Amino acid sequence: MRQINESHVAVPGLAVVEVAAADDDTAFAVQELLGARWAIAPADHTTRAPGEPGVRLRCFLDLREEPDA
């Protein structure tokens, strides 16, 4: 995954969330739960690290905004 840069967390209310899960379905389910509560820039794929279990997914939250209706 690319590094988190200053613009991702430039002001209070912005957050980067990295989900570690056993499989893609679980990771995307967590992202969906977050998206139901806050505005997010969702991930469209997970990543796998060689030799490490499970998958990772990173999404960006804006706690200042409600999700799209």
What integer pLDDT is reported at residue 13 of this predicted model? 85
Residue 8, pLDDT score: 54
Q: Report if residue 57 sits inside a domain.
A: yes
pLDDT at residue 10, as a whole number: 63
How high is the pLDDT of residue 11? 81
Domain of residue 49 covers 9-62
Which residue numbers in the chain have pLDDT < 50? Answer: 69
| Total of domains in the chain | 1
Q: Judge whether 31 lies within some domain.
A: yes
Q: What is the DSSP secondary-structure string of the chain?
A: -PPP-GGGGSSTTEEEEEEEESSHHHHHHHHHHHHHHSEEE--S--B--TTS-SEEEEEEEETTSPPP-
Q: What is the pLDDT of residue 45?
A: 94
**pTM to 2 decimals?**
0.78
